[in-house]
Structure 1
Amino acid sequence: MTSISVRLSEDETAYLEAISRNKKISKSNKQSSPGRTLKRLIKWCADNQIDISSSYEKPENSSKKLLEQLHVSLPHVLYLLRLNLLLDSSKIPDEAIAKAKQQAIDYINSVCGDFQHVEYSEINAVGNEIGLKQLPVEKDRSAWKNSK
């Protein structure tokens, strides 16, 4: 083993002491041990292959972004599913289509209407002509194309 001397600011020492208290890392006399905590922190970083030289995106932010994207997408899926169930033929009069669309809107309002009140922080959602939120992308950046 090698001994290393480190100078820490008050904030850094307080951070290590907080970890020491929360994770119950202490000397044999029950005092918090910033040195032992620093050693455990380094071991944890090595065990989890934490690379501090690259930018680190917190996993919870990625999960939150995914959840927000699902929140925006789910009403569209439900709307289209419901609309598809209500329209099983292309020979339906416009009045019936309008009625089916209204029934589809009523359906998603009753199933997941509160989603429209969720404020997103990880994504930029905008409303469409019927009020559903969307995640638009510039046409030239989209991988989804009309197959014609």
Structure 2
Amino acid sequence: MEDLGWDAEFAIKILRRQKELMYASETMKSFKGRLDFKESDVLVNLQKIKGEIDYQVLDEFGVKVPSDFPGILAYVDAKFSKNQEVMEELRYRRFTELGKDVLTIGGTYPDVELVSVETHDKYLLSSLHLHKERPLLIVTSSAS
């Protein structure tokens, strides 16, 4: 990955502006208007929106990047992974405490309410676990 010459202070400014744009009401409207979570290409479209935000931020700061630029997060993570201050700025986008609330085998889990994307019907998780003698595997995904 090409070194763009950013120091930690500049990387933090870039990350703060990116965060500001990511949570802006215009961005949220763009997410709602351009993302259909029933479509198979939703994650591709999400990445496009994130890429557009990256390039907007970089343009605002006058940063020229090569065509194979991996994105702000990938670049900052690769270049500043040992810089605690920069990594703290990434906290809003990274799961730094994975495993903290992991369920254990044989343990209990919260009985959460699930909503069907298609019908909007509501189900309790426990009602979907029909074979109580067998483990329940939960596979989730998020586009956020």
TM-score (norm 2): 0.31
Larger radius of gyration: 1
Higher relative contact order (CA 8 A, sep 6+): 2
